[in-house]
Amino acid sequence: MLWVGRPKSEPHEAALCKKYESRIARMVKFEETALKPLAQQPSDCDREGERILQKVSDGEYLVVLDERGREMSSRQWADWLVTKQEESRDVTFVIGGAYGVSHAIRERANDMISLTRMTLPHGLARLLLVEQIYRGLCITVNHPYHHE
């Protein structure tokens, strides 16, 4: 997961994220990279995009989190995660900064997924994403974390 933000700016969010990230890491390979925000205005988004693309290899399946992306139920999300695992592809989730992601990132993306149609602060999007990754993985192994 690549995200633009300051990891220590919201200690409660960071603590919750670490909780889910450690649970995820027991189930699958998981890495998280925070990139310091550059965007002070919308035009700076391109520079952030260049930095993000430098961290992504050609073979990675790039997923942008965006309110314009497609929505999924928890079960659909779990099925999607299984498909990616079966394809044996490294999946990189990208959460943009204050002004979202650049056009170059959208062009490179293999998929665009929405956590909600509402705009979220990137720290909260990060927390929702790691919780949903954990939930999806739990669904795939019939762990009792998820209830329908």
Strands (E), the chain: 2-4, 33-35, 61-70, 91-95, 111-113
Domain boundaries, the chain: 2-140
The pTM is what? 0.92
Instruction: Say if CB 37 and CB 98 are below 8 A apart.
Output: yes
∠ Cα 118 123 20 (to 5°):
110
> Are the C-beta atoms of residues 63 and 110 closer than 8 Å to each other?
yes
Condensed to tens digits (0 to 9), the pLDDT of residues 120-144 reads: 888 899 999 999 999 999 999 999 9
Given this model, what pLDDT does residue 32 score?
92
Q: Does domain 2-140 have CATH number 3.40.1280.10?
A: yes
Tell me the pLDDT tens digit for each residue of 40-94.
787 888 888 999 999 999 889 999 999 899 999 999 999 999 999 999 889 999 9
pLDDT digits (tens, 9 = 90+) for 13-23: 889 999 999 99
Please give the pLDDT value at position 148.
Answer: 79
Confidence of residue 37 (pLDDT cuts 50, 70, 90): confident
CB 114 within 8 A of CB 71: yes
